[in-house]
């Protein structure tokens, strides 16, 4: 009897295996394993608010999935999610894997690319000066005086790599064939798409006047603040030492020198060199418009002259 039951059980097991094999065969014949390639939007997670991805992040990845015909027929990119997880607080250049989530029953055979090289930077802000540039020339018999504009300082915000390389924002004004004052609101630019400027525009007025007189005058360097204890200003000079003024003759007749914008020497214990603008009267322009000021700071016992208020300093001619 036991031998008979064993034979029956073996037959039953064999029948089940044959039935399963037949089911697999029919399933593969009727609904074989297939592949499909989809383009999936790539997202990021974990990026801190004060960080920004500056390079290396593709917008999409290609995903090759495997499944049967029924599973793949109505499959679309929205059924998937592709993400890269940014390590918290990490900056610099590094690689991260692409993680893809799929509907149940499907297999991801390949992700292209399966990892991405990212550049992550910290977002910083910096105040920068605005410089106005002129394009073109006024009408014959006219000349352009120094531009008047507000604001002259804006705030740049963006990746530290970009911000650290920016020294000024520029505004370009077209004065071609102008025979009267040019008054415009101009977009400022810093040459980087990753950087935002606040405010983004400046109001510029370019005085256009009839032919004017010229006059060469010395530059009077100005300083503000006091050197470190035990130090004094020995000498201050400008390069170039003179500039050419243009403007109405009556306005130029009263000008004997042109002061620079103050150079801050507060707490200085060594020489300071800085490029600054000139304090040019309204209706007068200077060429060049900026000069390099050098302030020699020495120990008090070796100073030829003590430091003092900038208005008492005589210009170097």
Q: What is the dihedral of CA 97, 101, 106, 108, to 10 degrees?
A: -10
Structural contact between residues 113 and 129, judged by C-beta atoms closer than 8 angstroms: no
Q: Domain tally for the chain?
A: 3
Please compute, for residue 292, the number of CA atoms within 13 A of its CA located in the half-sphere on the CB side: 4
- 317 is a domain residue: no
pLDDT tens by residue, 212-245: 788 999 999 999 999 999 999 999 999 999 999 9
pTM: 0.54
- Using the 3D structure, point to which of 164, 187, 210 is the last residue of a domain: 210
In the numeric block, the tokens 């801190």 are attached to 48
Assess whether 146 and 175 both reside in one domain. Answer: yes
pLDDT at 310: 43
Assess whether 217 and 204 both reside in one domain. Answer: no
Assess whether 91 and 143 both reside in one domain. Answer: no
Instruction: Using the CB atoms, write b or e for 110-135: b if 16+ within 10 Å.
Output: ebeeeebebbbbebeeeebebbbebe
Assess whether 200 and 289 both reside in one domain. Answer: no
- Element housing 180 (H / E): none
Assess whether 135 and 163 both reside in one domain. Answer: yes
CATH number, domain of 8, equals 2.170.120.30
- 269 is a domain residue: yes
Assess whether 143 and 244 both reside in one domain. Answer: no
pLDDT tens by residue, 169-194: 999 999 999 999 999 999 999 999 89
Q: 161: domain range?
A: 122-210
Specify the higher pLDDT residue, 30 or 251.
251
């Amino acid at each position: 009897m036991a031998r008979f039951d064993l034979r029956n059980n073996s037959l039953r097991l064999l029948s089940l295996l044959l039935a399963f094999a037949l089911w697999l065969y029919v399933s593969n014949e009727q609904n074989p394993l297939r592949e499909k390639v989809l383009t999936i939007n790539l997202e990021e997670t974990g990026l801190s608010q004060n960080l920004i991805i500056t390079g290396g992040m593709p917008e999409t990845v290609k995903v090759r999935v495997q499944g049967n015909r029924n599973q793949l027929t109505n499959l679309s990119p929205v059924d998937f999610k592709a993400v890269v997880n940014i390590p918290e607080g990490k900056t610099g250049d590094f690689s991260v894997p692409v993680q893809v989530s799929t509907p149940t029953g499907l297999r991801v055979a390949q992700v292209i690319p399966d990892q991405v090289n990212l550049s992550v930077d910290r977002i910083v802000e910096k105040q920068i000066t605005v410089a106005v540039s002129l394009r073109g020339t006024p009408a014959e018999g006219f000349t352009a005086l120094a531009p008047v504009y507000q604001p002259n300082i804006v705030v740049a915000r963006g990746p530290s790599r970009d911000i650290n390389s920016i020294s000024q924002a520029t505004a370009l004004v077209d004065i071609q064939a102008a025979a009267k004052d040019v008054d415009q609101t101009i977009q400022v630019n810093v040459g980087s798409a990753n950087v935002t400027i606040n405010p983004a525009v400046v109001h510029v007025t370019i005085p256009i006047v009839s032919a004017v007189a010229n006059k060469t005058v010395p530059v009077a360097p100005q300083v503000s603040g006091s050197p470190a204890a035990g130090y004094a200003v020995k000498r201050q000079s400008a390069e170039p030492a003179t500039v050419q003024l243009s403007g109405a003759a009556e306005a130029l007749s009263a000008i004997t020198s042109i002061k620079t914008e103050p150079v801050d020497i507060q707490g200085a214990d060594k020489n300071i060199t800085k490029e600054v603008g000139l304090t040019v009267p309204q209706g007068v322009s200077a060429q060049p418009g900026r000069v390099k000021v050098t302030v020699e700071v020495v120990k008090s016992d070796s100073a030829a002259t003590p430091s003092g208020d900038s208005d008492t300093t005589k210009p170097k001619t």
